[in-house]
Structure 1
C-alpha cells in the first residue's frame, strides 16, 4: 500500500505542477500498462519514464496473484482513475473550472479509494465477491469515505493550489460557482465535511453483511488516519 501511495503522490505532483503540458502520452502509457502492454522502463520516479516504469512494475506485482474477477474489477477502477486524471489535465490546461457536481464526482475517482480498498483486501486475503463489492451500502460507504478524505485534503491545500492556479479543489470550485470569497467557501466546505463525516460514521456502524465488517472498520481507519496525517504533514 505504501508503494501505491508513493506512486500516486508523485504522479499527482507531476501533473499538478506542470499544468500547461499535454500529459496524454504519459497517461496513455499508464493505461497501456493496465491493459497488458509493456511501456518503456527506466528513469527516476520524478520523470515520466520513471513513473511509467514504477507504475507498470507495481501494477504487475499487485495483480499477478489476484483472482481473475478481482483483477478485472481492479483494472476497471484504475482505468477510470486514469481517465479522471486525463480530464483534470485537460481542464487545467484549458483553464476550465468544473461544475460542483462534476468536481465532486471526479474527486471521488481521483481519490482512488476503491483501488486502495481493493489492494488492501487482496494483500490481506479478504477480496470481496462482486455481489458484496457492488452492494449499495458498500458503494455509499466508499463514496462517503472518499468525500471525507478528499474534502479534508481540499481544505488543507486550497491556499497553495490557488497560488499555483489550480482549479480542482472544492473550496475554489464553490468560490467560482457562487461568486463568494475562498474564505467563505472554505467555511461551507468545513460544514459539509462535518456532515459527511457523521454520515460515514453512521454507515460504518451498521454493515449489512458480516463479510463487509472489515470494510466498515477500514474506512473508519482511513478517514481518521488521513485526518491525523493532514494535521502533521508539511506537504501543504
Structure 2
C-alpha cells in the first residue's frame, strides 16, 4: 500500500519534547475556536495527529511556541478539506475565504476579518502570534509564500469544480504541485519556531531557491504517494500517481513505481545541492552569525522533509481503510465532516 512506501532519507530529525503539553492545549483551542463542530469531526481530526507532524517539523520550538505552530499548522489542512464537489457554489465560497486568508497578514495586527467564519477568525489570531518578533522582511516573505499557496489551492478547487482536474500533464502538474503543497511558507515558519532569520542574500541565492523548490517537490510527491488511496477514494485526481497513470496509460503499479523514482530523484538532487552550502556562504562573504542562520535554515528544510515523511507513515489522514461519518463524507466528495466556511 502506498502509505507503507519507505524512502531512505539521509538525515534524521528530532521530535519536540513538548509534544504532549502542546497537543493538549492545541486540541482545546481547535474545539474552542469552532474548527471542529461535532464529535465525529473531532475524532476525525484527532486521527490525523497533526500535533505529531508539528512536533517533528518544528522540534526546537519552545512549548508555548509549539502550541502556536500547531494551531497554525491545522488551518491549511482543515481548509483543504472544505471542498464539496456536490455543492457547485462551493468553489466561490472557498475563493472568498481564501482571499481573506491572503490579506490578513497585510492588514494591521488585530484587525477583524471581513469574511467571518471559524477559519478566518482562527487565522487572524494565529497570524498575530506568528508575526510577533519577526522582521518585516520575514513577514513579507511568509505572506507571499502563503498567498501563492492559497491561490494555487483555489485554482485546484476551480479545476475540480469545472471537471478539469484530470487535464494537467505531468510537467504542468509537477509545477502546480510545488505551489499547492505549501512547503515554502512552512519552511519559513521554521525560522519563527527558533526565532532566527536566514540572511536575505542567502535566501535569494539560486542555490537556496532551488533547494527549497526541491524540498517542496520531494514532500509533495511523497504526500501524493502516501495519500493516494485516500484521494482515489475521494475521486480527487490532484495526485502524482493519478496523473502518471492517466498520461502513460500503464498500470497503477507502474505509476506508483515511477512516482517513487521521481521522488527519489528530487531527494538526491537536494542532497547534492545541500553539500554546496558552505561554498555559497563563502561566495556571499557571510559572517559567523549569518552562517548560523543559514545552517538553521537548512535544518528547517531537513526537519520538514524527514518530519513530514515520518508523520505520513502513521497518520490516520492517509489511512487506506476508514469507517464512520468521516469515510461517508469523503465518499460524497468531501474531506471534512464539519463545515468551517459558515458562521
Q: Is the 8 A contact 2:153 2:180 kept in 1?
A: yes
Q: Is the 8 A contact 1:147 1:196 kept in 2?
A: yes
User: Structure 2 CA distance, aligned partners of 1:19 and 1:173?
Assistant: 25
Higher relative contact order (CA 8 A, sep 6+): 2
1:18 to partner: Cα distance: 6.7
Which 5+ residue runs of structure 1 have no aligned equivalent? Answer: 43-48
User: Structure 1 CA distance, aligned partners of 2:186 and 2:143?
Assistant: 12
User: Structure 2 CA distance, aligned partners of 1:102 and 1:85?
Assistant: 15
Q: What is the TM-score of this pair, normalised by structure 2?
A: 0.62
Counterpart among 189, 193, 199 of residue 269 in structure 2 = 199
Shifted more, 10-19 versus 192-201: the winner is 10-19
1:85 to partner: Cα distance: 0.8
Corresponding residue number in structure 2 for 1:39: 113
Are 2:133 and 1:65 equivalent residues in the alignment? yes
Counterpart among 147, 159, 163 of residue 91 in structure 1 = 159
User: Structure 1 CA distance, aligned partners of 2:219 and 2:129?
Assistant: 27
Corresponding residue number in structure 2 for 1:45: none
Tell me which protein shows more helix as a share of its residues. 1
Partner secondary structure for residue 15 of structure 1: coil
Q: Is the 8 A contact 2:100 2:115 kept in 1?
A: no
Are 2:138 and 1:75 equivalent residues in the alignment? no
Q: CA RMSD in A?
A: 2.1
| 4+ residue segments displaced more than 4 Å | 16-20
Residues 60-209 of structure 1: pairs in structure 2 closer than 5 A: 60-96=128-164, 97=166, 98-207=168-277, 208-209=280-281
Q: Label 1:125 to 1:160 Cα distance change in 2 as closer, same or farther (>3 A).
A: closer
Shifted more, 23-32 versus 13-22: the winner is 13-22
Counterpart among 37, 40, 52 of residue 120 in structure 2 = 52
Counterpart among 284, 287, 309 of residue 227 in structure 1 = 309
User: Structure 2 CA distance, aligned partners of 1:19 and 1:108?
Assistant: 27
Q: Label 1:192 to 1:33 Cα distance change in 2 as closer, same or farther (>3 A).
A: same
Q: Label 1:146 to 1:66 Cα distance change in 2 as closer, same or farther (>3 A).
A: same
1:152-191 per-residue CA deviation (whole Å, 9 max, x = no partner) reads: 1101111221221111111111122222233211110011
Q: Is the 8 A contact 1:26 1:52 kept in 2?
A: yes
1:56-110 per-residue CA deviation (whole Å, 9 max, x = no partner) reads: 2112221243212222222211111111111111111112122222221222222
- Specify the structure having the higher radius of gyration (Cα): 2
1:19 to partner: Cα distance: 7.4
Q: In the comparison of the two structures, how many residue pairs are matched?
A: 230
User: Structure 2 CA distance, aligned partners of 1:53 and 1:90?
Assistant: 24
Which 5+ residue runs of structure 2 have no aligned equivalent? Answer: 1-68, 282-290, 319-343
